[in-house]
Amino acid sequence: MAKVTVVTPQKAAACDLPAGFSGQSRSTAYLAGPKDPLHLHCNELTPGGALHIGPRALDCLAFVWTGAVHTGGHRLAAGSSLVVEHGAALELVAADEGAKLLIFTTATAPQKPRGGGHVHLLPVERVPRIPVMIPGVSGGLHFDSACPTCELWLHENMFAPEFVTPETQSRSPHCHTEDEIIFVIRGGARLGNRMIGPGTALAVHALTMYSFDPGPEGLGFINFRPVRPGENRRADGRVSREADGWERHLGGKRPAYIDLPAS
């Protein structure tokens, strides 16, 4: 069923750590219900606090929203990301400033899962960036679904305030061929007459038409998909291949992951 769910920080509910997680972390559930195809939790670690992930039956993707964590001899500052594939395990320890981690997973395992068993780290300084995708919009690609052992996707977009013009405001709504979660990391977005700010999650079911505009301070968000994005379909009939567009902008450059030994 076509559906858009908006979860503000005030609506996110404190909860126990999800199955397969342990440690000194406070967990908040944004999307974790039986009708949510994709799940999102925010795990807050105090300075020096540890979070253990796995081994689990599902791949999970984590984004360092604030603060920093240490793992495998590496420091992952805000804006970094990582994947713990099914069958693998990882311990993260919060730096002196603590950390907030956004944890994305699917609700169920894919019918044909890839091999799993690995951990990929992507420090923020290794994220390939696109300074200008279109005027007023920049981007970064974290996970590109091209790994032979996992197929999760995460990209990041930044909209400058000047992106909003009479022409951009008149653009048609669009939909994607996959379920997705959009999470506002800075600035704000206008959904119709409603403004949403940092810490708000937008869950959009596949083939659901929607649109939004950046707020007066601009907009930064991350976008999670369980698989490689397919078509971007607009209400005016235009169709594009989203992942192909990212590859074209990056000129074949891929994220430079740090792979940890299997544990």
pLDDT, position 263: 60
pLDDT, position 168: 61
Query: Six-digit token pair at 104?
Result: 């994305």
pLDDT, position 161: 84
pLDDT, position 1: 47
Query: Six-digit token pair at 1?
Result: 């069923």
pLDDT classification of 44: cutoffs 50, 70, 90: very high
User: 124 with 80: CB under 8 angstroms?
Assistant: yes
pLDDT of residue 42 exceeding 60, the answer is yes
Give the mean model confidence (pLDDT) for residues 87-103: 97
CATH class, 129-255 region: mainly beta
User: 230 with 46: CB under 8 angstroms?
Assistant: no
pLDDT classification of 225: cutoffs 50, 70, 90: very high
Tally of CB atoms within 10 A around 251: 8
Which amino acid is residue 223, in one-letter code?
Answer: N
Distance between CA atoms of residues 206 and 148, nearest Å: 24
Tally of CB atoms within 10 A around 200: 23
Distance between CA atoms of residues 149 and 187, nearest Å: 35
DSSP bridge partners of 156: 140, 222
Could you read off the pLDDT of 128-184 as tens digits, one per residue? 999 999 889 999 999 999 999 999 999 999 999 887 666 665 567 899 999 999 999
- Please determine whether the domains at 13-122 and 129-255 fall in the same fold group of CATH: yes
DSSP letter for each residue of 109-172? --SS------EEEE-GGGS-EEEEEETTEEEEEEEES--TT---EEEEEEE-GGG--HHHHTPP
Query: Six-digit token pair at 161?
Result: 């305030």
Domain ranges in the chain are 13-122, 129-255
pLDDT, position 253: 93
Fold of the domain built from segment(s) 13-122: Jelly Rolls (2.60.120)
Distance between CA atoms of residues 230 and 177, nearest Å: 6
Average pLDDT, the chain: 93
Spell out the residues 6+ positions from residue 228 whose beta carbon is closer than 8 angstroms to its own: 144, 145, 146, 151, 153, 243
pLDDT, position 150: 96
pLDDT, position 252: 87
Q: Kindly tell me the number of DSSP H helices and DSSP E strands found in the chain.
A: 2, 22
- Give the dihedral sign, CA 217/158/123/37: positive
pLDDT of residue 2 exceeding 70, the answer is no
Query: Six-digit token pair at 30?
Result: 């944004």
Spell out the residues 6+ positions from residue 166 whose beta carbon is closer than 8 angstroms to its own: none
pTM: 0.95
Give the mean model confidence (pLDDT) for residues 23-45: 96
Q: Which of 72-76, 82-86, 110-114, 145-149 has the lowest mean pLDDT?
A: 110-114
Residue found by looking up tokens 């713990």 in the block? 84
